[in-house]
Amino acid sequence: MTAEPSNSEAGSLRPKLILASASPRRLALLQQAGLDADALLPADIDETPQRFELPRSLAVRLASEKAAAATKIRKLQPDLDGSFLLAADTVVAVGRRILPKCETREEAEDCLQLLSGRQHRVYTAVSLITPRGAERRRLVEARLRFKRLASAEINAYLATGEWRGKAGGYAVQGFAGAFVVKLIGSYTAVVGLPLYETVNLLAGEGYPTLESWTARG
């Protein structure tokens, strides 16, 4: 009779999962779903929107380009052969206007003034590269409305520095959560990684998404 593998032995048989991002929030979301990234391969790509490019198209293109760039890096690391690779990108837009991933206080202030009292949309695209090299994509759209922001609220938020590097100049999981009057759609997509779609993408390609859940039981 063959002995059942221990939890550690079973875990060693799990295919590796690569996250093509250095984002702490995306890593935390993966961990929230019980998924552990075996490697982080952030991809450095040009994220400038193309002329007349729509927000949803930009999100899909950037997620796919991040996945492709990380795949090239993965090929240089034989220990990552046979792995699943996950990339994502989030775009914030008011109508067709794409808001920047803010790097300066002035950019963030402009975004917050534009979002004040208005509805906007957040598009998060996910690209999964399977061990066979196939690409699977999902795009998730969420709609949010901010309260009308007073100058004191904007200045206080800018002082936190939380806006730095964030699409639209805010992080919904932080202080800016207090600005949200209404959110329709996936909260985790707004944070940066839609868990429902991501887990289902992985499970559909044979990744053992529930392994860590059952191990804890």
Asked whether residue 1 is domain-assigned, the answer is no
Name the residues annotated as catalytic: 89
**pLDDT attached to residue 217:** 62
Sign of CA dihedral 43, 24, 168, 197: positive
Asked whether residue 65 is domain-assigned, the answer is yes
Asked whether residue 216 is domain-assigned, the answer is no
Overall domain count for the chain = 1
pLDDT per residue of the chain (217 residues) written in tens, 0 to 9: 323 333 434 445 789 999 999 899 999 999 999 999 999 999 889 999 999 999 999 999 999 999 999 999 999 999 999 999 999 999 999 999 999 999 999 999 999 999 999 999 999 999 999 999 999 999 999 999 999 999 999 999 999 999 999 999 999 999 999 999 999 999 999 999 999 999 999 999 999 999 878 876 6
Pair 146, 116: CB distance under 8 Å: yes
- Its pTM surpasses 0.75: yes
Domain at 194, CATH number:
3.90.950.10
User: Which residue range is the domain that position 41 belongs to?
Assistant: 7-210
